[in-house]
Structure formats: structure tokens, C-alpha cells
Structure 1
Amino acid sequence: MTVISRSIRGLAAGALLLALPFAWPARADDLRSVKVGEPMPAYHLPTLDGKTVSSDELLGKTVVVVCLSAEQHRSELAAVESFDVVKALGNDNVRLIHVTADADRKDYFEEFREEHGIDVPLAFDADRGWSAKLGLIVLPTTVVIGPDDKLVHVISLHSSRYGGTLDAYIRHALGELSEAELEHRLEAAASHSASTRTLALGHRAQARAMRDKGLTDSAKAELLKARELQPDDPEIVLDLADLDLAMGELDQAAELVDLVLKAQPEHRRALQMKAIVCFRRGQFDQAEALFNEALKLNPKPEQIHYYLGQICEARGDTKDALAHYREALRRLLEEPG
């Protein structure tokens, strides 16, 4: 994510839950209001893509619901890892849904999901009506619902054993594992470390925290650790480039951005950062062309309009500059056009 969007929106959401002491739930953990084996409350929720998701439509399927909080590190890990687990299963009888009460944070979820290639439904429980019926205590909370729409398993929070535990719970709900086999899988999951993707995501989150505190060297060290784990992840490379930009290291930033663009010429974030490098170098024509190209790919282009406004202002075109600044502000505030 961009520096501006991070600084504007902040990282306050979910901070209280992040401060909670870690405690992995015991086997067969329960929700506060629904016990294992009991029917789940019905839901009919709007989704990020303007559709709806309904429990009635998913009857007969094994459904995994992950309840998330915006900008909360554990929720980010659960979102990524649950997606990876269900995708790896490749079972048409399994459905994954992410649910959040943070309907006002669509911009964050759009960026995060695009960044990590997550394409499962994200449903909004804005009034927390469904969450209240479950009796959620902490976030993230993951529930596995059987084909008969009854609660089968619950995972509270997230730890390094999350992926192995979720995989075992789903297979048990599908009837692929007996109780004894499930216990064996859970024991194995307890001894497994997190996936490289999850570990890299953790280093990126730590880098953001260090950067917010002004500890740029520490932030860079965390990003380099992440890159060692996933050298081909373009977002890690661009995080490093973004840090170089903030430190005024334009040549280093440009080199990293070009690495991404060589592999993915239409990468939205890379195009946008290349344009910023050109802008910082005073190459306004090239910057403008790149910003306009990125604008076509960017669902939340407030930063692009801000820079286009600066380019127009540098040229003395006050009218167009104000138009871009207004558009940036309108999009940032999510006002209607």
C-alpha cells in the first residue's frame, strides 16, 4: 500500500485486539452464542463486488467463514492463509467467505485483496447483527460450517499452526478424516512452522510498524528478510522501492520498480511509483503519461490525482490543478461524483 494511504488512514483499527495476549484455542473451541453441533444463524450479506452471499445458497456445502478486522495484522494473516488453504484443497464442495463489520474501509480491503490475489467473497456485516448472533469474542475468528449448516469447528485468532489446523478441520468436516486422524493432524500442525508467505507477510507488517515510528533502517531490514523468503513477490520489492522513495534514494527506487515492470508491464502500483520517481526528477511529461496510464488501472486513484494536480501547478495551469486536487479529495472522502 502507498505511504499516503497508510498515513491518511492510519493503523488504529484493531489495535486493541492486537494487544490481547495470545492464546490458541483448545480443541473444539466454541463461540459464545453457538456451540459445536448447533445450527448456525442465517445470513444474507452484501459483498464488496456489489452482490450478496446467503447461507441458503450455500446449504449442502462445507463453508469456511473468516471474520476479520481492517488493518489488523492477525486478520491479514488469517485472510491470506485461509485463501491459500482452500485454494490448495481445490474442492468444489468447500466455500470460503471473508466477513467484516468494517464496511467503511472498502478502500483498505480492495487494496489488500488485490495485493494478495484474494478473490473470495468479502461480505459486510456493517451492523454486526450476524456477528452478535455468533457471539464473537476476538478477531479474527474462523468458523467451519458443515453441509447441514451446523457449526463444526472454530479457530480463534491466528498462529503459525493456523493453516494446518484449518486444513484438518475442513477435511474432518468433509468426512475425509476420522476423529483419531483429526487429532493426529492437529498434533502435526502444532509442530509445523508458518508458510514462507505468512512469514513474509509478518515481516512486511513489522516493517510498516517500524516505518510509522520513523525507524527506516529497521523497516528496511524487515523488508529484506521478507524478500529473502519470497524473492519474486512484487509487493515486497515495491515496499522496498517505496521506502527508498521516502528516503530520497530515487535511483535505487527506480531500479526496483523497473524489476517489477519488466515482469509485469501493467502492474498498477509499479506504474504509479515509476511516475512518482519521474515527478521527483522533474520529468513532468513522462510522469504525467505514466500517471494517466496508472489511472486506468487504479480503483482508488486519489494519489494519482494529487500528483497530476502538482504537475499542472508546476506548469502554471491553476485551473486543471485545482480540478485534480478536488477530485483527489472527493475520492479520498468517498463523496459521490
Structure 2
Amino acid sequence: MPAASSSRTSKRQKRAVSSDIEEDGPSQAPQREEQEDVEMDEDEQPRRSQKSAKKGKKRATQQDSDAEEPEEPEEDIPIPELGDQPLDKDQAGKLRGMSSDWAMLRDKVHLPGYNFIREVASSVAEFTEGEKGEKALTQIDTLMRELLDTEYELTAHEKSLDGIYQKLVRDEKIEGVTDAYERGVQEQLEAYKQKTARQKYAKSDHYHKFKQAIYEVQHPDVAMPPLTDLIGREDGDDSDDDDDLQIGGVTQDYKCPLTLTILVDPLTSRVCGHSYSAEAIKEYLGNSRTRSKECPATGCKKQISLPLLEPNRELARRAKEAARRERARDEDSGDEEVIE
């Protein structure tokens, strides 16, 4: 009997426990957790509640820091904030610095491009013949002109800033500097677009070197005519001052005036522009850096010295190409004599 009684008691306890579980099912669990969170002290809250509180604090701190960040960069930006306020002579230095930045950008971007296009044109002129070669050179010429056009776009920005700078130097106040700057750029570009091809490129030293590189390959030992003869005439060229546009008519000489052979490691004088083979000119001037002598080039009376000479890598490259072409012509002429 006692055993049966204990059995019934255990069954009742199991039923009571199961009924409690059913009453406290999932639908009521969240309510109990919320009540516990409200009634418990901060130290007695479950770990999950503490973690969520920490995350909330961290998010709040991050939001506050994000809200303050935009104010800091203004102090670190080195760009002059000219805005549209009236400018006076005090801001002239800033404008001159910005103009110099445009000039540095122009040189950095375009100078390597000019050298590359010139080398490509020289190679095409030497190794590609006939109609195919002429078509390739025409395409390269178009590319060269486009590069010159983009350079002028950068120059327009530089000139616009210089124009404002000159007004400030004359104590003229500039109202609406942004409009004045953009207007100056647009005026420069519009004036450039109205020019003919001769007016755009005939005075360009880069275009002259480009044409010279092609001409000396196609017509060795012949002076290149003025660029005006190599650029077709257009409407508007009749009033040009031809004397002012004459660039060309000279033969590029790659021979040292001392050795009378092709230049080797050429040094160019900053005084007169003549170039000499390094070993020959050093021997001519001696070891003294203070000694000066008359330039050995025919007809030149300038005094030169070692400190006034500087290496000319571009000329060295072109001299090597000229020497190679000269050897190739000699070999071809030798073959022709053998055939005859």
C-alpha cells in the first residue's frame, strides 16, 4: 500500500509540472523576461541584457562621434577657400600659386606624351613605306594635334588665373571670382577654337620637333622647310604675318664641332645651345671648372665653361638613331654597288 501511494503522488507531481510548462509556454515567456528586466537591479540583470546595453552605449557613442566628424576636415584642407567673396591684393599670392599648379600639371602630363609620339612617328617613317606608312603618319599627326589641343585647355585655366592676378596686382577688386574665372577659361577656349591649324601649331616647338623627326628620316641631310609649308592653308591665314610663323629651314646636326663625328654622351651649353661630345669638350676645356673658352662651334663667339654644360639625354637618343640610320644607308649603298 505505501508503495502505491507514493506512485500516485509522483504521477500527480509530473502532471502538475507539465501543466505549469504548458501555462508558461512560449507566448508568455517574453512577458516574464520583460518583467524580470524591470524588477531586477542593474547588477542582477542577465548577461544578454548587459551586452545589449553595452552595444547600445557603443552605438550611441559612435553616432555622436560621427555627427562631429564633418567639422574637422575644414582645418586640414590646404586649398585656398576663395569662394565668391570680393578679392583684393592680399589674395594675389594664392592665385599665383594655383596658376603655377596648372602649369606643373600641364608639363607633367604632356611632356612624356610628346616624346613618345615623336619616337613612334620616327619609327613609322623609317620602317613603314608606301600608302600604309603615309596613312599611319596621318593618324599619328592627328593624335599629336589633339594632345596639343588638350594642353591648351590646361593653359586656358592658367591664363584665366593670371588675368585675375594681374587685376589684383593693380589694386582692382574682383567681384564674383568664380564667374570671372570660368568666364576667362571659356574666352580662352573660344578664341583658340577660332584659330586655323597654322595659327595653332606652326609656332609650337613640340610640333616642330615632331615634324623634324619625321622629315629627317624621309629626307636625310636636307633642311626641313618652315612649318607653314607643311600645314595646309585655310581661310583666315591670308592675314598672317609669315615672318612671324617661320619655324624650320634648318638641318639637324648630330655631329660634334670638335670631333666632326656623331655626338656621344652630348653636353649642351646653356649659353649658346651648342652641343658637344662629353669627352671631347672636357678635353678642350681642361679639368678646371673656372676656365672658360670660346665655343668651338663655327661662328659662335660665346664663352663656355664646364659648369655651363649639362647632359642632353634627348639629343643623345636622337644622335644614336641618326648614327644607326647612317650605317643603314651606308650598307644599302654598298649592296647596290655590289649588285651593279
TM range (shorter): under 0.3
**Could you say which structure has the higher strand fraction?**
1
Q: Which one has more relative contact order, counting CA pairs under 8 Å at least 6 apart?
A: 1
- Which protein has the larger Cα radius of gyration, Structure 1 or Structure 2? 2
**Could you say which structure has the higher helix fraction?**
2
TM-score by length of 1: 0.27
